[in-house]
Structure 1
């Protein structure tokens, strides 16, 4: 049985690409366009993994990581950051707020699935 994954990105095209890749591997995918919407989705649902962009309107991905980590229900949920940001400082900031892993866009579907399988064995 597949994982339940929440993918968060303000780009519908990117959400579609991530969803297509994950669904093709048998996973169930929920989608949100920004951090605020992601928290609403998480409020009523448990997920096995969150994949989020960094740069989004309303609430960015790093703030979302902090918010997820502050909720006891989701404190241990793996969070992958999927972003165009490759700066080491941003990666360190991501780790400090609780990101489990970092994938730089454009992503390779096989690599994404490898990382998903690694963080959710």
Structure 2
């Protein structure tokens, strides 16, 4: 299988342990990465680790369901790299108790985060 030239990968939820690993792996393989997470300090740590591997990174702290966050990350990536080749969508929430014990607002929140970004 052919490899992409100068690949660009977006990783959401990049501040947590799984997202951090999802960012470091493509960066170590030569991919430039665009990162986002709600937690700015955790995102800063991931960004620093990517830079330590020699990877190129653009990081935007914010809520991935916010059009502002999506627009800022995409604009910066397209300006710097002219493309996006891959996405690791590492953001989602789950119920912590049986479904029927949650109010409708909990269900709506899960559906909004897990299935309808920027809507």
TM-score normalised per structure 2: 0.44
Structure showing greater relative contact order (alpha-carbon pairs closer than 8 Å, 6 or more residues apart): 2
More helix by share: 2
Structure label with greater radius of gyration: 2
TM-score normalised per structure 1: 0.44
